A and B are shown apart, each in its own frame.
Chain A
């Protein structure tokens, strides 16, 4: 189980770096959503189901949608 946890942790760091460095805004949002989803996995392993449910609903679900809607409202991707 430790190996899986370390692998997920490395994936979280990679997606966080990608979210910061991505050229397009939309790619960054998707990477952020992926990071939240992987964090949910770590929360479940660390026996924090309350936080996991909240993170899955807010971080991976609604926050991504709100960011994409706000990007749409701003008028698409500008560098």
Chain B
């Protein structure tokens, strides 16, 4: 009887999700409001004019999300400083809490946590990755995406007594942080300005658009995710 009821509930949920998915608009074909049009139509020189979503090409900054275009393109040096602040905080945590062994809670995690982590963890990591890859199109970006991935790592720590991160996050963090600076230096070599958007910007609203904005946000996503996972790992060390 219980099995029958659970099958009915699962079937109902599947039907609900299928119906909701068919209601969603197709990817990229949305009616954007007047405010969003004004946001897309941005130009430092003051003569943007007539920018159409999904049509206009080779704009000054091709990102559809105006916040991202400011954070990663117009004020990218500011973001470099912000990333450095986060790095300093993570460095401080690992200097204060320099443990060797992983701390054990000494009790078996409860059933719901153990089972639901197996189902939810891939979805959480996928969602975090989606947030930072689509940073130039939808709200979000490297910082929240990395934080969501670190929350997934925290869930792994809580549900599994044996799990422990190795030195990999430190390498990932160092490499992606250096690549961010290398991107800036390439801009300096090609166009003469540090961190300039030197790649072609493509069509507004495409996944592959906006020049270096998605590249930098993917690097920031990896860096922040590895850093915050490192903080969670350091808090679980002792000895």
Which of A's residues lie within 8 Å of B, judged by CB? Answer: 47, 49-50, 52-54, 56-58, 61-62, 65-66, 69-70, 73
**Is the Cβ of B228 less than 8 Å from the Cβ of A54?**
no
Number of interchain pairs (Cβ within 8 Å)? 45
Give Cα A48 to B131, complex, Å.
16
Distance between A20 CB and nearest chain B CB, rounded to angstroms = 24
- Mostly, the A contact residues are helix
Contact between B235 and A69, CB atoms less than 8 A apart: yes
Q: Is B143 an interface residue (CB 8 A)?
A: yes
B232, A50: Cβ atoms under 8 Å? no
B residues sitting closer than 8 Å to A (CB atoms) are 35, 65, 67-68, 97, 131, 139-141, 143-144, 147-148, 150-151, 154, 228, 231-232, 235-236
Q: Are A73 and B228 in contact (CB under 8 A)?
A: no
Docked Cα-Cα span, A77 to B97, in Å, equals 20
Give 14 A-B pairs besides A50-B140, A57-B147, A62-B154 with Cβ atoms closer than 8 angstroms.
A50-B67, A50-B139, A53-B131, A57-B144, A57-B148, A57-B151, A58-B143, A58-B144, A61-B147, A62-B147, A62-B228, A62-B232, A65-B232, A69-B236
A53 touches B139 (CB 8 A): yes
Q: List 23 A-B contacts (CB under 8 A).
A: A50-B65, A50-B67, A50-B139, A50-B140, A50-B141, A52-B139, A53-B139, A54-B143, A54-B144, A54-B147, A56-B144, A57-B144, A57-B147, A58-B144, A58-B147, A61-B147, A62-B150, A65-B151, A66-B232, A66-B235, A69-B232, A69-B235, A70-B235
